[in-house]
Amino acid sequence: MTDLRLSVLDQSPAVIGATQDRAIRDTIEIAQHCDALGYERFWVSEHHGSESIVGSAPEILIAAIASRTSRIRVGSAGVMLPHYAPLKVAEQFRVLEAIAPGRIDLGLGRAPGGDGRTSWALNPAGDDAVQRFPANVRDIIAWTSGKPLVDGHALASLKVTPQSPTAPEVFVLGSSDYGAQVAAYLGIPFCFAAFISERGAEQAFELYRRYYQPSERHPAPQPSVCLFALAAASEAQARFVFATRALSRINRDRGIRKPLLPPQEALEELRARGEDARAEHMADDAMIGDGASVAQKLRDYARALGVEEIAILTQAHDMADRKASYGLIAEAMALRPLIAA
């Protein structure tokens, strides 16, 4: 059994050659696969108005996954809180907790997960909600745990149902110092989104640990990191499959969000655009390789940051490549599977 806990973040990526609804069903299938392999948690993301990432309603997807898995924790990374009323989020996750007691995570973020027009359509008062993010997270912690709101709160008499003996685990997902400080102040776990921003994790964790205020559920800081990783049968095969991810990231940096291309087509497009050298440099720096090499990179990265849990995001055009990657990493990290992978 490994001393580094491994979890998964899946973004329901759309791929060329399949309809978007297939991506949602693929996420459920990947979750069942990771449950059997022994991963700690399975998180789903929230994005809106995107042609490339189509998981727009994590609370619904979590319910489907929880009902089809047996032991893995299931949650959001994250619910983009400024779009919603905190009470409604608390109610949704109390229902989820009733579906899968002791297995629900509520990751919260303040990013829009989409463009400005879509964000306005979701909540015209979203800008004000961004400013209230720390207070809204505080209220959600109270409502989901059955604890009272702060003294003098105007909504102190409200009760969130259904009540149950267990409560979702609330955490903040962020890619900046801000989220780290909110999590520290509230005494909850913090996950740094390194798949969004490769830099800044060390500083964010330093602030998180320095200002951490112990809570009843989390007496000590609980930092984790979410990053991209991909394993294949060989280094060469991993670099080939990675071409899909490289093109996707280059496109994202230019504001282009398209379904994922197969590796060969991605390579051809990169060459046609004269960006194959950049993609090669990205591969050099990426956490990719065979199972053993990726596992060692994960251990080294966790040791350098002082974290005990890493969530893996794996993007590939083919489901077989995604499944194989999670299986190879699980085997190399000696995760304890429920069944033979």
Q: Say whether pLDDT at 338 is over 80.
A: no
Q: What is the pLDDT of residue 159?
A: 87
pLDDT tens digits along 13-46: 999 999 999 999 999 999 999 999 999 999 999 9
Q: How confident is the model at residue 337 (pLDDT cuts 50, 70, 90)?
A: confident
Q: What radius of gyration, in Å, describes the C-alpha atoms of the chain?
A: 20
Q: Say whether pLDDT at 70 is over 90.
A: yes
CA distance 144 to 128: 23
Give 290's strand partners.
232
Strands 104-109 and 169-174 turn out to be parallel
Express as a percent the part of the chain with pLDDT over 70.
99
Name which of 334, 313, 336 is nearest 325 in CA terms: 313
Q: Say whether pLDDT at 1 is over 80.
A: no
Q: What is the pLDDT of residue 61?
A: 98
Residue 139 has φ and ψ, to the nearest 5°, of -65, -40
Q: How confident is the model at residue 125 (pLDDT cuts 50, 70, 90)?
A: confident
Per the rule left: phi > 0, alpha: psi between -120 and 50, beta: everything else, 102 is left
Helix (H) or strand (E) holding 23: helix 20-37
What contacts 24+ positions apart, CB below 8 Å, involve 86-89?
A: 86/136, 86/137, 86/139, 86/140, 86/143, 87/139, 87/143, 87/155, 87/158, 87/160, 89/59, 89/140
Are 59 and 36 within 8 A, CB to CB? no
CA distance 83 to 124: 9
Q: How confident is the model at residue 116 (pLDDT cuts 50, 70, 90)?
A: confident
Q: Say whether pLDDT at 123 is over 60.
A: yes
CA distance 214 to 198: 28
Name which of 224, 213, 142, 150 is nearest 184 in CA terms: 213
Please count the CA atoms within 13 angstroms of the CA of 326 that sit on its side-chain side. Answer: 32
Express as a percent the part of the chain with pLDDT over 90.
89
User: For tokens 């929230």, what's the residue?
Assistant: 46
Sequence spans of domains, the chain: 5-235+289-332
What average pLDDT does this structure show over 226-238? 98
Strands (DSSP E) found in 157-257? 169-174, 190-193, 223-228, 230-232
Q: Say whether pLDDT at 273 is over 70.
A: yes
What average pLDDT does this structure show over 251-268? 95
Q: Cβ contacts of residue 99 below 8 Å, gap of 6+?
A: 63, 66, 67
What average pLDDT does this structure show over 91-112? 96
Q: Say whether pLDDT at 2 is over 70.
A: no
Residue 255 has φ and ψ, to the nearest 5°, of 75, 15
Give 5-235+289-332's CATH code, choosing from 3.40.50.300, 3.40.50.720, 3.40.50.2300, 3.20.20.30: 3.20.20.30
User: For tokens 């999590």, what's the residue?
Assistant: 183
What average pLDDT does this structure show over 76-100? 97
Residue 171 has φ and ψ, to the nearest 5°, of -145, 165
Q: Say whether pLDDT at 339 is over 70.
A: no
pLDDT tens digits along 274-317: 999 999 999 999 999 999 999 999 999 999 999 999 999 999 99
Please count the CA atoms within 13 angstroms of the CA of 23 that sit on its side-chain side. Answer: 26
Q: Say whether pLDDT at 69 is over 60.
A: yes
What average pLDDT does this structure show over 158-184? 96
Q: What is the pLDDT of residue 340?
A: 47
Which stretch of 66-75, 155-164, 169-178 has the lowest confidence by average pLDDT? 155-164
Name which of 265, 276, 280, 270 is nearest 318 in CA terms: 265
pTM for the structure as a whole: 0.95
CA distance 286 to 28: 26
Q: Say whether pLDDT at 168 is over 60.
A: yes
Q: Say whether pLDDT at 96 is over 70.
A: yes
Q: What is the pLDDT of residue 193?
A: 97
Q: What is the pLDDT of residue 197?
A: 86
CA distance 9 to 4: 16
CA distance 119 to 48: 8
What average pLDDT does this structure show over 78-87? 95
